[in-house]
Amino acid sequence: MFSWLNKNSIPYLQSSGLAACDFLAHAFCTREGGVSEDDYQSLNMSFREGDEEFHVLQNWNKLAGAFGIPMENFLVLNQVHRDGILVIPPRGEYFTSREGLDYDAIVTNRTNLAICIKTADCAPIFVVDPENKVIAAVHAGWRGTAASISAKVVRLMQNQYGSRPSALLAAIGPSIGRCCYEVDEPAAAAFCSHKNAKAFLLPGKRKDRWMLDLAQANRGQLAESGIPDAGIDASGLCTVCRQDAFFSHRGSGGVTGRQINFLMLKGDPFCKALFVNEDFRQVH
Ligand SMILES: [Zn+2]
């Protein structure tokens, strides 16, 4: 179950399963609580969509202050709509430039590192191994979902960290819903090798169009990977239907901001988690 919460005037959602883990901090943020204007109103966390840089920087400051996490401890990927998974070791330097961040998922057991997924229709997905204290954040649009990125993340956690799928918890945040996600034939065809495609890809109203249920497709991958149904939480919220609360790429016609979704293993004491050589705005 997802709940609406508010921290220092920043509204956000939490999954009850993850919220019950005292070693975690997490939030699926909305578009509310920031200072950006017009198409980016208001908590736009992306420097790359045409918003005023000083507004985005203020938004990052507000988020960091509200959750008590230093701004440089948030890590955002480039999100290139493929299936690459960045594994971050518990200590040491792991990237020095923007080019090193062309991935769509992060897996780590590093504490104090808030791994982030920016969204405006794609599905943000978190996976947690409470036994080994390993966390994952996944960006799943249709391309990543067709490439089975959620299943690959679970497999990596099994292989590299010894995670037991039956002990994992997962949460699927707000994304474009089946109600609004019409895709064309090439996108639908990308799922031809998915044996349960009928569960998440339904005929559309128009010829050669399909309605894709991103959340259901990823839930299926997580379940087939061995995560029990009770361990998989989903918000059930559609970003297109709920543009009052969320940025939506399709709903806006293309010019809009990005909400942030983050997951972190709490550590003590709070140390600098990143080694960033560049200006902050170039890595967010
Ligand atoms: Zn909808």
pLDDT tens-digit profile, the chain (284 residues): 999 999 999 999 999 999 999 999 999 999 999 999 999 999 999 999 999 999 999 999 999 999 999 888 899 999 999 999 999 988 876 665 677 889 999 999 999 999 999 999 999 999 999 999 999 999 999 999 999 999 999 999 999 999 999 999 999 999 999 999 999 999 999 999 999 999 999 999 999 999 999 999 999 999 999 999 999 999 999 999 999 999 999 999 999 999 999 999 998 755 554 544 455 555 55
The DSSP letter of residue 8 is: T
Domain boundaries, given as residue ranges, for the chain: 2-179+222-271
List residues bridging with 138 in a β-sheet. Answer: 105, 125
Instruction: Report the separation in Å between the CA atom of 239 and the middle of ligand 1, taken as the mean of its atom positions.
Output: 7
For residue 140, give Cα distances in angstroms to 79, 81, 162.
Answer: 9, 8, 24
Residue 191 corresponds to which tokens in the numbers above?
């799922």
- Tell me the H-state helices in 26-112: 53-67
Instruction: Report the separation in Å between the CA atom of 265 and the middle of ligand 1, taken as the mean of its atom positions.
Output: 32
pTM for the model stands at 0.95
Establish whether the linkage from the previous residue to 186 is cis, with ω within 30° of 0.
no
CA end-to-end distance (rounded Å), the chain: 29
Other beta carbons within 10 angstroms of residue 190's beta carbon come to 17
Other beta carbons within 10 angstroms of residue 242's beta carbon come to 16
Question: What's the CATH architecture for 2-179+222-271?
Answer: 4-Layer Sandwich (3.60)
Instruction: Report the separation in Å between the CA atom of 201 and the middle of ligand 1, taken as the mean of its atom positions.
Output: 15
User: Which residue, chain included where needed, has tokens 């992060």?
Assistant: 106
Instruction: Report the separation in Å between the CA atom of 246 and the middle of ligand 1, taken as the mean of its atom positions.
Output: 12
Q: What's the confidence (pLDDT) of residue 270?
A: 55
Instruction: Report the separation in Å between the CA atom of 203 and the middle of ligand 1, taken as the mean of its atom positions.
Output: 16
Instruction: Report the separation in Å between the CA atom of 176 and the middle of ligand 1, taken as the mean of its atom positions.
Output: 6
